[in-house]
A = this chain, B = another copy of it.
Amino acid sequence: MGRVVVEVMPKPEILDPQGKAVVGALPRLGFTQFTSVRQGKRFELEVDGPVTPEVLAAAEEAAVKVLSNPVIEDVVRVADIEADAAATITSEGLA
């Protein structure tokens, strides 16, 4: 059983009222470091069997055609979630 992660964010020129609400709330709760927040979506798609290149290609197509609105959103990531988990551990090691 494999999983593919697809991530979608509002385009930079599009107003993001959810992000604006969050960036307004953060300083009131003591988080003064953050100057801007954008809110998007994360999807986890499950397949029977492994995440093959064909599955990734289908996920990329679904990301553009079904999971995002290309007028206002960009697909920022399509990746095998297991490879991603390994990569995240690496990046935490670097941080």
**Which residues does A use to contact B, with CB under 8 Å?**
7-9, 19, 22, 25-26, 29, 31, 33-48, 51, 53, 55-56, 58-59, 61-62, 65-67, 76-77, 79-80, 83-84, 86-88, 90-92, 94-95
Known: A9-B44, A83-B94. 5 other contacts (CB 8 A): A7-B42, A29-B62, A33-B58, A40-B43, A51-B95
Assembly stoichiometry (copies): 2
| A84 to chain B: closest residue by CB | B91
**Does A88 lie within 8 Å of B84, measured CB to CB?**
yes
| A32 to chain B: closest residue by CB | B58
Distance (Å) between the CB of A47 and the closest chain B CB? 5
A61 vs B32: C-alpha distance in the bound complex, in angstroms? 12
